[in-house]
A and B are shown apart, each in its own frame.
Chain A
Amino acid sequence: MNLNDVEKEILNGGQGEARRLALAVIVELGELFGAEALMAISQVHIDTTVYMVDSGVEFAEKCAQLGGRFAVPTSLNASAIDHFRWQEYRVPPELLEKCRRLENAYVTMGASPTWTCAPYQQGMIPRFGQQIAWGESNAIAFANSIIGARTNRYGDLMDICAGIVGRVPRFGLHLDENRKAELVISLEGFSRDALAADALYPLVGFLLGELAGDRVAALQGVPLDVKIDALKGLSAAAASSGAVGLFHVVGVTPEAQNLQMCLKGKKPKAKFVITPKMIREAEERLWTAKGGDTVDMVTVGCPHFSFEEFIELAQLIEGRHVHDAVAFWAYTSRAVYGWLENCGLLKALTNAGMMVFTDGCPLQYPKKTWRFSAAFSNSVKFVNYCYSQTGLPVGYGSLADCVESAVRGKIFRGHLSWR
């Protein structure tokens, strides 16, 4: 690999031990990727944030002890717990201690304790074309696709090394030639009503991920007024069913003002359609609970809920109350939580029987204390992982379905035009 003078100096230890080791990792992995040089990145989002095994804590602490400091602004993905409301969640003390050790190590290195999986909706939002190094599959897909920033799918540990040196190998989705669409996927046969339903898009994402795998797809047929949170749900679902790092939505996302633009003059290698029947079948595959069943856990905020989503939630629950037997959990970032507190929305939601948590997410929080019979969510990503990770039967629906189910204590499937 060709290294410049600064990089050579770092590798020789001229900028301290943490940087030397971190750059050695980046260079060695870069050689495996076939990169010929390194490039600067201006922001990092670290995914090694959910306490899972001790070596994650040990690695972060070792970097901090060796004097490692993040060379570029660095944010943190979701934690395993809510660092403020851990008592309400019955977090075991040993888990709390590990999470605090992780937090100390990252904050010592200069990270902002954002603890959010939706870093693209508040805080350090990258611009179009900005070269960044992000972890967390949904955030990577959103940053690349919806914003047009540039990151590869950085995995645990490499994200930390990238932050310490502010550099990554020059390869993959950082480069123009790897961002063109290879597949074209068209929505066909959907009514205007169907296309206006937010709940359609996570299901589209789920199918897109299955069709695309790790290839870049162009999605046609999405109306221009699609909501940003629907695109968030689409990105998250696509990155959970496939190794999707980038897709284009023709006419909607910045690198695809039209189809030709994202194909960059090449012919697509394959074409697919997504029909209402396929959406119906995808939804049936995801459902492991049954309509009309008792539901006692309703969860929203996977990825973390935006302020706009909370406004809609408050409107839907207004004048009503969550059923006594139901836990209604909403997950969000500390930033959005602060806004909810300041404008009175938090009080309205908690008065209606909803609980709002920050930092973590339902699947990463401790699940041993769960005694639920069935779950319900408006997140395909959550629904996809919930059953495989917990065995808890789960249903999927719109945000209105979530609220209706929570109020009734029974799973409610409202009218959606493909159903």
Chain B
Amino acid sequence: MALRLHGCKIAPGLARGEVLVTSEPISFWGGVDPASGRIIDPRHELFGQAVCGKVLAFPYGKGSSTTSLIILELLQVGKAPAAIINVHTEPILATGPVVSRIFFDRNLPMMTLTEKDFNLLRTGQQVVVDADSKVVRIEDEAPSPIVPNDEQ
């Protein structure tokens, strides 16, 4: 049963992929290796996971102004997530995708969802992020959506 969640467009585009969700904020500078696209902050619950090709869902970003550069680099080397979903997107986080699309024609769709809808996301779900229609479609729901971070 597909579930349609309505949100806001931060950066345009359409992407399909597997959700990688965390309730913790992510700092891209120092937190994500720009060469491999892996989470390298040992204190983060996604430590060791690769963001490449995933629909990366985290509530909001934190940390340095270099975040924008790291996201641009991930896009340039092909290690970026397929899409990003936040509850709140601060400008620093949006800068990388905006610059990448305008200057390099590489797209990274970004959307925000309400906290309630964000909490329906589960790692392993197949979703379609349609930023232009402002919709996130969950194609198959995880079996026990109550348990946080349930891995399928």
Known: A25-B98, A25-B102. A155 touches B67 (CB 8 A): yes
What residue of chain B has the Cβ atom nearest to residue A48's Cβ? B69
Q: Mark B43-82, 1 if CB is under 8 A from A, else 0.
A: 0000000000000000000000111111011011100000
Residues in B whose Cβ lies below 8 Å from that of A154: 65
> Total interface residues on A, using CB and 8 Å?
27
A56-B99 in contact (CB<8A): no
A155-B103 in contact (CB<8A): no
Residues in A whose Cβ lies below 8 Å from that of B102: 21, 24-25, 28
> CA separation between A62 and B104, bound complex, in Å?
10
B95-A56 in contact (CB<8A): no
CB-contact partner of B103 in A32, A48, A62, A153, under 8 A? A62
B99-A155 in contact (CB<8A): no
With an 8 A cutoff between CB atoms, is A54 at the interface?
Answer: yes
B70-A53 in contact (CB<8A): yes
Residues in A whose Cβ lies below 8 Å from that of B103: 21, 25, 59, 62
How many pairs of residues, A versus B, come closer than 8 Å at their CB atoms?
A: 77
CB-contact partner of A52 in B10, B69, B92, under 8 A? B69
B76-A55 in contact (CB<8A): yes
A32-B91 in contact (CB<8A): yes
A166 to chain B, nearest CB (A): 18
With an 8 A cutoff between CB atoms, is B124 at the interface?
Answer: no
B65-A156 in contact (CB<8A): yes
- B residues engaging A (CB < 8 A)? 10, 30, 34, 65-70, 72-73, 75-77, 89, 91-92, 94-96, 98-99, 102-104
Knowing that A48-B69, A158-B91 touch, tell me 12 more A-B residue pairs with CB under 8 angstroms. Answer: A28-B98, A28-B102, A29-B94, A59-B99, A135-B65, A155-B91, A156-B66, A156-B95, A157-B72, A158-B68, A158-B95, A158-B99
- A residues engaging B (CB < 8 A)? 21, 24-25, 28-29, 32-33, 47-48, 52-56, 58-59, 62, 135, 137, 153-158, 161, 389
